[in-house]
């Protein structure tokens, strides 16, 4: 038996925890560079504003209805996510963190009534973090997802929907009402194809012959059919697999022309990627850098280049990786273009054990270097990202993301700590 716990309108809800005045008001959180809506409060959804709607297109509606917009505050969301996940861990030893605001729990080892347990989870998360969650409970992960969808949609479930507690007539009706686009793992493109084959609802897909589905579509969709019929095919993944590649890329807040500024951005991205690399105790065997102009500015001359270089030794050293990345940048940079985005990717990741002893490492003493990186990570963890950085990462950062409506980092910065009373 599985439970899927999902925070409602996660980013918006995080903002509301620290600013209760936002309760009941239409609120959106915008993507990087304040581009489009990535989280919407129910009030905003009710206004018919779709996910990923560009902010500049909803300015007018926003003014009319007093929509309050925030820049994404990932430091806040990541911290709130950790709090929710550690609370959920108390309720079941079997936990799979599926995304920043979603988590599967295995309930097989838990003897009590599952709906009651769900209610208690919900109340605890609400009380301890201030965040509202909905919970779907079912014999398969796919059905648990579906139940979560129902719990969100229908207030009569009071936030917890358990498949086994629905009578058969209700189960049937739900299957006929919910469209396949809502099913876990069925994306938009697949929906279109299924529609062409006359499959529109969950009920249609359940009735389809699994073997035919496998041949016509994929073994993955066949599993989905089995799961909808109540046969578990997808198990919990207890340990999130280590990333096979690490990408750090951003669109710039303003166009960038000089190599110097691109180098600042690339250095900053390498530092972030290398930090992630060390956190999962990997080393990179190759590194790629890309830079590009904005293809939407059709009148501008366009340029885009992506170059991958193998490293002579796998490395997790910020200094070495930065050196390699800037070497690549020097070769791909062309003056005269308005650059809109750059990125760094670390590839051919491998465990970093045993690579420190190489005799001919070109860098300084590898042990000293490892200590330096470790110290840098510690300082940056405690004092905030980028507190200690290479000079090549620069100071001005005119290229940084636009975040005009960024809220304070209430839970991760001492200076932003909220003050109660008065
Ligand atoms: Mg959610």
Tokens representing residue 408 in the block: 């304070």
Please give the domain boundaries of the chain with CATH numbers for all domains: 2-157 (3.30.70.270), 167-228 (1.10.150.20), 246-393 (3.30.1490.100)
Q: What is the pLDDT of residue 68?
A: 94
How far does the centroid of ligand 1 lie from the alpha carbon of residue 77, in Å? Answer: 12
What span, in angstroms and rounded, lies between the C-alpha atoms of 117 and 123? 10
How far does the centroid of ligand 1 lie from the alpha carbon of residue 375, in Å? Answer: 36
Q: What is the pLDDT of residue 118?
A: 97
Q: What is the pLDDT of residue 280?
A: 87
What's the chain's length in residues?
Answer: 422
Contact 322, 267 (CB under 8 A): yes
What span, in angstroms and rounded, lies between the C-alpha atoms of 84 and 412? 15
CA distances from 413 to 22, 381, 384, 387, 418 (A): 22, 11, 8, 13, 10
Q: What is the pLDDT of residue 168?
A: 93
How far does the centroid of ligand 1 lie from the alpha carbon of residue 367, in Å? Answer: 43
How far does the centroid of ligand 1 lie from the alpha carbon of residue 126, in Å? Answer: 14
How far does the centroid of ligand 1 lie from the alpha carbon of residue 381, in Å? Answer: 27
How far does the centroid of ligand 1 lie from the alpha carbon of residue 270, in Å? Answer: 30
Contact 124, 5 (CB under 8 A): no
How far does the centroid of ligand 1 lie from the alpha carbon of residue 32, in Å? Answer: 19
Contact 411, 76 (CB under 8 A): yes
How far does the centroid of ligand 1 lie from the alpha carbon of residue 154, in Å? Answer: 15
How far does the centroid of ligand 1 lie from the alpha carbon of residue 7, in Å? Answer: 4
Give the chain as a 3 state SS string. Answer: CEEEEEECCHHHHHHHHHCHHHCCCCEEEECHHHCEEEEECHHHHHCCCCCCCEHHHHHHHHHHHCCEEEECCHHHHHHHHHHHHHHHHCCCCCEEEEECCEEEEECCCCCCCHHHHHHHHHHHHHHHHCCCEEEEEECCHHHHHHHHHHHHHCHHHCCEEEHHHCCHHHHHHHHHHCEHHHCCCCCHHHHHHHHHCCCCEHHHHHHCCHHHHHHHCCHHHHHHHHHHCCCCCCCCCCCCCCCCCEEEEEEEEEEECCHHHHHHHHHHHHHHHHHHHHHCCEEEEEEEEEEEECCCCCCCCCCEEEEEEEEEEEECCHHHHHHHHHHHHHHHCCCCCCEEEEEEEEEEEEECCCCCCCCCCCCCCHHHHHHHHHHHHHHHHHHCCCCCCCHHHCCCCCCCCCCCCCCCCCCCCHHHCCCCCC
Tell me if the pTM is above 0.75: no
CA dihedral 129, 134, 140, 145 (to 10 degrees): -110
Kindly list the protein residues that place their beta carbon closer than 5 angstroms to ligand 1, a single-atom ion: 6-7, 10, 101
How far does the centroid of ligand 1 lie from the alpha carbon of residue 297, in Å? Answer: 34
What span, in angstroms and rounded, lies between the C-alpha atoms of 345 and 324? 12
How far does the centroid of ligand 1 lie from the alpha carbon of residue 42, in Å? Answer: 12
How far does the centroid of ligand 1 lie from the alpha carbon of residue 31, in Å? Answer: 16
How far does the centroid of ligand 1 lie from the alpha carbon of residue 234, in Å? Answer: 21
What span, in angstroms and rounded, lies between the C-alpha atoms of 273 and 200? 42
How far does the centroid of ligand 1 lie from the alpha carbon of residue 9, in Å? Answer: 5
How far does the centroid of ligand 1 lie from the alpha carbon of residue 103, in Å? Answer: 10
Q: What is the pLDDT of residue 362?
A: 56
Residues in the chain, pLDDT under 70: 238-242, 354-364, 421-422
Tokens representing residue 412 in the block: 């991760």
Tokens representing residue 25 in the block: 């008001």
How far does the centroid of ligand 1 lie from the alpha carbon of residue 226, in Å? Answer: 25
User: Nearest-CA neighbor of 119 among 85, 82, 165, 162?
Assistant: 162
How far does the centroid of ligand 1 lie from the alpha carbon of residue 302, in Å? Answer: 38
């Amino acid at each position: 038996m599985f439970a899927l716990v999902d925070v409602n309108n996660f980013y918006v809800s995080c903002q509301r925890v620290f600013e209760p005045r936002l309760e009941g008001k239409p609120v959106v959180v915008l993507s990087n560079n304040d581009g489009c809506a990535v989280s919407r409060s129910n009030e905003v959804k009710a206004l018919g504003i779709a996910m990923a709607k560009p902010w500049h297109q909803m300015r007018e509606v926003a003014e009319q209805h007093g929509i309050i917009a925030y820049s994404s505050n990932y430091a806040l969301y990541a911290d709130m996510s950790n709090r929710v996940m550690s609370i959920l861990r108390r309720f079941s030893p079997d936990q799979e963190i599926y995304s920043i605001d979603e988590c599967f729990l295995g309930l097989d080892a838990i003897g009590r009534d599952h709906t009651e347990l769900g209610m208690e989870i919900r109340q605890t998360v609400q009380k301890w973090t201030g965040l509202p969650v909905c919970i779907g409970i079912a014999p398969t992960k796919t059905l648990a997802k579906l139940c979560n969808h129902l719990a969100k949609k229908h207030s009569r479930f009071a936030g917890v929907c358990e498949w086994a507690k629905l009578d058969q007539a209700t189960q049937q009706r739900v299957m006929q009402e919910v469209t396949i686009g809502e099913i876990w793992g069925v994306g938009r493109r697949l929906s279109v194809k299924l529609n062409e084959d006359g499959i529109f609802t969950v009920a249609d897909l359940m009735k389809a012959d699994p073997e035919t589905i496998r041949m016509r579509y994929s073994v993955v969709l066949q599993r989905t059919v089995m799961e909808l019929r109540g046969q578990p095919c997808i198990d919990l993944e207890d340990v999130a697999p280590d990333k096979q590649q690490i990408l750090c890329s951003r669109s710039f807040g303003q166009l960038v022309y000089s190599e110097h500024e691109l180098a600042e951005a690339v250095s900053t991205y390498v530092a972030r990627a290398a930090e992630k690399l060390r956190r999962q105790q990997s080393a990179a065997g190759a590194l790629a850098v890309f830079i590009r102009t904005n293809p939407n500015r059709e009148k501008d001359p366009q340029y885009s280049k992506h170059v991958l270089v193998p490293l002579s030794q796998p490395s997790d050293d910020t200094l070495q990786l930065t050196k390699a990345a800037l070497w690549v940048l020097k070769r791909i940079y062309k003056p005269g273009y308005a650059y809109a985005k750059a990125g760094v990717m670390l590839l051919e990741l491998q465990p970093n054990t045993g690579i420190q002893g190489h005799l001919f490492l070109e860098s300084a003493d590898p042990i000293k270097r490892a200590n330096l990186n470790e110290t840098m990570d510690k300082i940056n963890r405690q004092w905030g990202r980028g507190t200690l950085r290479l000079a090549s990462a620069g100071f001005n950062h005119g290229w940084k993301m636009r975040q005009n409506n960024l809220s304070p980092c209430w839970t991760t910065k001492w200076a932003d700590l909220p003050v109660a009373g008065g």
